[in-house]
Amino acid sequence: MPRVLITPHLLYELDLPCRRAIEEAGLEVVYPPNAMSLMDPTDLLKNLDGVAAVLAGMEPFNPEVLAKSNLRVIARAGVGYDAVDMAAASKQGVVVTITPGTNEISVAEQALSLLFGVMRGQPGRDQEVRSGVWKRVPLPRLSGKTIGLVGLGRIGRAMATRCQGIGLKVIASDPLADAAFAAKHDIRLVTLDELYAEADIVSLHTPATPETVRMINAKSLAKMKPGAVFINTARGSLVDETALADALRSRHLMAAGLDVFDVEPLPLDSPLLALDNVLLAPHMGGLDEESLEAMATMAGRSIAELYRGEWPGNGRVVNEELRAGWKW
């Protein structure tokens, strides 16, 4: 019986629909021993011995891991797949799936929580009250500001309508933007440089690709309005964190809310940790109770379908070119 390794620690041993879907298809579910993290490629490879498919988190499926394993499927519980070397996966005939439509509401809510937090001076004000300091310094009002969304895919669209609901003007930059959606919701599509120049808030909602890595750097930060707020719930690799820290330290940017980092967990020597105008979170954007179950269920269903000889639809397969002739 082929084995399926479930790696996200929040799914360990839970009786969720994802596990039932896998087992009902005739596959055996296994977990890492002692709930160990598999973020080290060596540890990951050791745990792939005898494993045919992975319901995966952010583990690094690099070319060596893919070449030395006997994987047939990597089903990501999420929509990002930058932790998988797609060229190597396709070369090895490993189908990679994602879970579109499962977590955009959670990401949008996290981005808004970070935005509200920094605009109202949290967590600094909370800490002041706890220490007996009673400062009442007004900060700029959020309503009426312009937010620039870098990316107008599922998450960007979920963000856009919620931002308009709290009184923000929305502009967006995305070469593949749904023009009909933008027109319907009165979202002006602009170039990146126009967005940087006009937005009071810049919020990232674009995937990590060779073209977008370090797109936020000293040059792009300098183009942003003095006093702008920066929000990132996309991927840490999009940002040069040293340049961002410099922009925050100089107060060129008013504040930042960050849910993702170039290295996770965020190293304790990161310059971001020394700043009082940054609100941080441990990559929780796409993760609430509802999205966790939905992502896991869709990922489990994709594995089960592929084992039964069915091809997952609705944009779930990343390397669609493998469809012709692919077998488990």
Q: Which residues are catalytic?
A: 235, 264, 283
β-bridge partners, 5:
30, 54
| CB-based contacts of 231, cutoff 8 Å, min separation 6 | 111, 114, 115, 118, 201, 202, 203, 204, 256, 257, 258
State CA 146 to chain mean position distance: 23
Partners of residue 96 on adjacent β-strands: 74
Q: How far is CA 207 from CA 33, 71, 267, 268, in A?
A: 32, 25, 23, 26
Instruction: Select from 297, 284, 235 the least CA-distant residue to 102.
Output: 297
Give the count of beta carbons closer than 10 Å to the beta carbon of residue 49.
11
Nearest to 31 by CA among 5, 11, 54, 60: 5
